[in-house]
Amino acid sequence: MFSQDHPPIPLTNLHGLNSSLMRLMPQITGIDLSMLQTKGANLLMFDFVIANNATTLYNGIKRGDILTALRPALATRVNTHPIPLTYDVHGDKHFPGGPPGTKFTDTKAVINPLLVAMITPHTGRIRRDANGKNQTYYLSMPQQPYTALNGPELAIQVDYLAGPPDSITYHGYPRDVHAFVLSRTLGGLPIPV
């Protein structure tokens, strides 16, 4: 976004936006993240949207016009904002050479990138469902080549840690699950899309 100054000054965060709104005629007392009513959004995402929006403020602009200009991009950012995924060593027992437990047929170096690829498309959905709170999820999948021949399906525990910045820790394991969903409980009801 840009201020109403001549030439317009780029606004890069919420603080800059609110300072500029106070200089308008009539003044707008400010905007906060809750006004956009976007589940899963945080301040880092909001600042990114402000910095990448082409709207120029002007005297007489309404708060609703600003919110309308920001809301769709913020909803998109919830789905696309990068999130680090970190392997939880609790899953070591599910790999060859680890402590006793159900075993994958290949190593962490092979399996974990595959698990990350399965989790990544769901990060926006997880953010929206968690809506700023820490939450554990289970992503259950049909049998995979590495869950053992004629063996169990795949379960991935996904622990979402709210931010900003937010993050995910994960580990997977072969397990009979029978329902292939993303849920707050293993094999439970799917969270909303």
Predicted structure pTM score: 0.84
DSSP 5-72: SSSPPBP-SHHHHHHHHHTSSS------GGGG--TT--HHHHHHHHHT---B--TT--HHHHHHHHHH
DSSP 81-136: S---EEE-GGGGGGSTTSSSS---SS-HHHHHHHHHHHHGGGHHHHHHHHTTS-EE
Distance, CA of 136 to CA of 96 (rounded, Å): 26
Domain that holds residue 28: 14-80
Domain-ending residue, one of 45, 80, 115: 80
Which residues, in sequence order, are bridge partners of residue 81?
none
Q: What is the pLDDT of residue 98?
A: 78
pLDDT in tens, 116-171: 999 999 999 999 999 999 999 999 999 998 987 667 899 999 999 998 889 999 99
Residues near 184 by beta carbon (within 8 Å), at least 6 away in sequence: 129, 135, 136, 137, 138, 191
Tell me if 7 is assigned to some domain. Answer: no
Please give the C-alpha separations between residue 51 and each of 1, 16, 45, 62, 93, in angstroms, as whole numbers: 6, 10, 10, 19, 45
119 and 75 belong to one structural domain = no
Q: What is the pLDDT of residue 163?
A: 81
Which residue bears the tokens 């094999």? 187
What's the total number of domains in the chain? 2
Residues of the chain with pLDDT under 70: 149-150
φ/ψ of 55, rounded to 5, equals -65, 135
149 and 60 belong to one structural domain = no
Q: What is the pLDDT of residue 148?
A: 77
Residues near 34 by beta carbon (within 8 Å), at least 6 away in sequence: none
Q: What is the pLDDT of residue 149?
A: 64
Tell me if 8 is assigned to some domain. Answer: no
73 and 120 belong to one structural domain = no
Q: What is the pLDDT of residue 102?
A: 83
φ/ψ of 12, rounded to 5, equals -115, -5
93 and 175 belong to one structural domain = yes
Q: What is the pLDDT of residue 150?
A: 62
Contact call for residues 125 and 140 (beta carbons, < 8 A): no
Domain-ending residue, one of 80, 109, 126: 80
Domain-ending residue, one of 24, 58, 80: 80
Q: What is the pLDDT of residue 6?
A: 87
Tokens in use for 109? 């170096």
